[in-house]
Structure 1
Amino acid sequence: MNNFTCGSMGLDGEDWEAFPVHIVIGMGGQDAQSTCEPRPDHPDDLIFPQPKHSLYRRGVFGYTRLVATKEKLQLSYVGNHDGEVHDMVEILASGQVVSGSGASAGAGSKVAQSKSSLLVEGAIVLVLVAFVGYVLGFISRSRKDATSKNRWTPVKTEDI
Structure 2
Amino acid sequence: MNFNNKNQITGYLLAGVMLLALLNSAYFFLSIVKLGFFEWLAFNACSLSIIVYLVCFICFKITKKDLFLAVALLPQYFYGTMGLFVMPWNEANMFAQVTHIIITLNVLWILFVLLKNSKFESIGKGLLIGILLFVPVFAVIQSYTQLHMDTFMQMLQNIK
The bucket for the TM-score relative to the shorter chain is under 0.3
**Greater RCO (Cα-Cα under 8 Å, separation 6 or more):** 2
Structure having the larger proportion of residues in helix: 2
Structure having the larger proportion of residues in strand: 1
Larger radius of gyration between Structure 1 and Structure 2: 1
- Normalised to the residue count of structure 2, the TM-score between the two structures is 0.22
